[in-house]
């Protein structure tokens, strides 16, 4: 069925874009329908007077959407646009390489939608006319077969009166149907616009929620660390209380006193040694000055090393930024190359068609 439609349909516009579909479960997130940029084309079926948007990825159709007058293509960013397909119960999103491509696709979408609206109005007028002819013919026949003999006295004037009444009824019914269709289209367009606005707000809220969740995780880790530290301190306090505060304090004072007495004895011995060895005292002062000088030199070297480390880290950061910028430029070049390859492919197909002709 699909190849048969493609034979009688003619492409009228094509563009390259990344295709997305709305998540059918959450109706919030976008699901990529193609790994790379694919061709998205408008097709016109002259036999059925129908416009369709078709995109094929590999061997399956990614987009197979019939354009209706109620559809609206909305630009949600500089390079992204979307529209809803009520028949497929989904929302399609297209990401373009440039803002100009998005603008061209949006203009073509509006043009095709207007053409579909005109085609629907013509089809409705034709159906109403056929319905009027179908209703009028059996009515005349039944009137001739089943009307009382008294009504046949008027002859052609009675038939003319009935034909005029049928025309007035059909005209009023036609206007009522058009009014209902226009009101339904306006309501549907307003609902789609409101839906897209809510989806945009919802995406912003989801991003804010993710950021808040990340902060909450960090706060939870800090709270866990604080709780562990509190438990450790509580254990220490419990241990101190279990040993008894007075005994503990007494033991600490006794130990401090013994340390001070030992330190005092050591200092007395040092004084006796220094008094007996005054010559060595001056040498020790000289060694102390040298040690202080070496310590200062080490501190200067340390500060120099820290400065070098900072410069190295800055150079590393600059190198990483240069690499990221180079990766971005390479990605952009790859996208441009994909577009050029697509253009060359279209040119090749056009040349093959010219050669075949």
Kindly state whether residue 336 falls inside one of the protein's structural domains. Answer: yes
pLDDT tier for residue 21 given thresholds of 50, 70 and 90: very high
pLDDT given at position 15: 94
* Contact assessment for residue 20 and residue 33, using Cβ atoms and an 8 Å cutoff: yes
Report percent pLDDT > 70 for the chain: 72
Kindly state whether residue 282 falls inside one of the protein's structural domains. Answer: yes
pLDDT tier for residue 1 given thresholds of 50, 70 and 90: very low
pLDDT tier for residue 104 given thresholds of 50, 70 and 90: very high
Kindly state whether residue 44 falls inside one of the protein's structural domains. Answer: yes
Q: Of 124, 142, 157, which one is at a domain's C-terminal end?
A: 124
pLDDT, greater one: 254 or 314? 314
CATH number of the domain that residue 94 is part of:
2.30.29.30
Give tens-digit pLDDT for 221-249: 877 887 787 778 777 777 766 665 556 66
E strands within the chain?
9-22, 30-32, 38-45, 50-57, 60-66, 74-75, 80-85, 90-95
Give tens-digit pLDDT for 122-162: 877 776 766 655 554 444 434 444 444 433 334 444 444 44
Kindly state whether residue 107 falls inside one of the protein's structural domains. Answer: yes
Best CA proximity match to 127, nearest among 174, 167, 84, 163: 174
Q: How far is CA 142 from CA 146, 163, 186, 314, in A?
A: 6, 14, 41, 97
* Contact assessment for residue 354 and residue 346, using Cβ atoms and an 8 Å cutoff: no
- The mean per-residue pLDDT over the stretch 60-73 comes to 91
Cα 341-346-347 angle, rounded to 5 deg:
95
* Contact assessment for residue 17 and residue 191, using Cβ atoms and an 8 Å cutoff: no
Domain count, the chain: 2
Kindly state whether residue 179 falls inside one of the protein's structural domains. Answer: no
Q: Of 124, 142, 165, which one is at a domain's C-terminal end?
A: 124
Kindly state whether residue 152 falls inside one of the protein's structural domains. Answer: no
Kindly state whether residue 238 falls inside one of the protein's structural domains. Answer: no
Kindly state whether residue 100 falls inside one of the protein's structural domains. Answer: yes
Which DSSP helix (H) or strand (E) runs through 292? Answer: helix 278-356
pLDDT given at position 167: 61
Average pLDDT, the chain: 78
pLDDT, greater one: 115 or 186? 115
* Contact assessment for residue 48 and residue 73, using Cβ atoms and an 8 Å cutoff: no
pLDDT tier for residue 289 given thresholds of 50, 70 and 90: confident
pLDDT given at position 192: 52
State the residue range of the domain holding 303: 249-356
Out of 132-141, 191-200, 319-328, give the one with best mean pLDDT. Answer: 319-328
Q: Of 124, 155, 190, which one is at a domain's C-terminal end?
A: 124
């Amino acid at each position: 069925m699909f190849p048969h439609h493609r034979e009688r349909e003619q492409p009228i516009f094509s563009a390259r874009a990344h295709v997305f579909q709305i998540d059918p479960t959450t109706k919030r997130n976008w699901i990529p329908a193609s790994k790379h940029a694919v061709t998205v084309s408008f097709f016109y079926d002259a036999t059925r007077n129908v416009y369709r948007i078709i995109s094929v990825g590999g061997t399956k159709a990614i987009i197979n959407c019939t354009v209706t007058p109620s559809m609206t293509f909305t630009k949600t960013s500089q390079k992204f646009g979307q529209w809803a397909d009520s028949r497929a119960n989904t929302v399609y999103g297209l990401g373009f390489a440039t803002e100009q491509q998005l603008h061209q696709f949006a203009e073509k979408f509006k043009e095709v939608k207007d053409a579909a609206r005109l085609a629907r109005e013509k089809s409705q007028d034709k159906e109403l006319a056929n319905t009027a002819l179908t209703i009028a013919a059996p009515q005349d026949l039944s009137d001739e077969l089943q009307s009382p003999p008294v009504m046949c006295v008027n002859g052609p004037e009675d038939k003319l009166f009935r034909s005029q009444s049928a025309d007035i009824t059909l005209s009023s019914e036609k206007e009522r149907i058009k009014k209902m269709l226009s009101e339904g289209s306006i309501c549907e367009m307003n609902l789609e616009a409101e839906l897209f606005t809510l989806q945009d707000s919802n995406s912003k809220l989801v991003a804010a929620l993710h950021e808040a969740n990340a902060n909450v995780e960090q706060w939870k880790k800090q709270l866990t660390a604080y709780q562990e530290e509190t438990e450790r301190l509580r254990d220490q306090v419990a241990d101190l209380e279990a040993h008894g505060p007075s005994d503990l304090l007494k033991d600490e004072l006794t130990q401090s006193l013994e340390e001070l007495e030992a330190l005092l004895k050591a200092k007395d011995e040092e004084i006796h040694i220094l008094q007996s060895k005054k010559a060595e005292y001056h040498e020790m002062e000289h060694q102390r000055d040298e040690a202080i000088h070496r310590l200062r030199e080490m501190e200067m070297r340390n500060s120099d090393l820290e400065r070098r480390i900072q410069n190295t880290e800055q150079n590393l950061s600059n190198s990483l930024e240069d690499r990221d910028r180079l990766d971005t430029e390479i990605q952009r070049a790859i996208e441009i190359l994909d577009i050029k390859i697509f253009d060359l492919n279209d040119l090749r197909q056009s040349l093959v068609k010219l050669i075949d002709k």
